[in-house]
Structure 1
Amino acid sequence: DTFGSKFATTNAGLLYTAKGTAALLVPAANYMQQSSGTWDMVFIVAAGANILASLLAIIVLKPWRKVVVAKSQQTA
């Protein structure tokens, strides 16, 4: 575990903040669907957001996690 039990409540709070933010995007998705008449654009935007999140996880989080794990192993 990268963050440990010390940050469990912070991580849970961030998770629910992200869910709340996603709920605020529903009107924008509804507008895109209504203006185009199909759900295609909504799903394309959602897929793009998922691809971006995946790339960020690989490019940013993976190297950062290596550093954090190495530090914790040195101090242990």
Structure 2
Amino acid sequence: MPQDRLRLVLGALNRKSVKFFGVDLNGIELHADDLDFSYDSGTVLSGSAQDLLLVLCGRTLPEGHLSGAPAARFTMPGSTA
């Protein structure tokens, strides 16, 4: 996904839009590795901006796409990147 579009979508995030998808991010700070983006505060969950957007939409990702203590919560067990 083009980074300018990712910036547009991620830059418009707010609690209401995150709540829409039903993902529980309480106590989690999202931090993109590939562009200047972070959201909220708490234990850091890192990954590419595109992968974090998938997390925000309720998707689970293959292992290796995310890092940080909460990564396992958003990862498919036994999958690989």
TM-score by shorter chain over 0.5: no
Q: TM-score of the superposition, structure 1-length normalised?
A: 0.28
- Whose helix proportion is higher, 1 or 2? 1
Structure number with higher relative contact order (C-alpha < 8 Å, ≥ 6 residues apart): 1
- Whose strand proportion is higher, 1 or 2? 2
Which has the larger Rg? 1
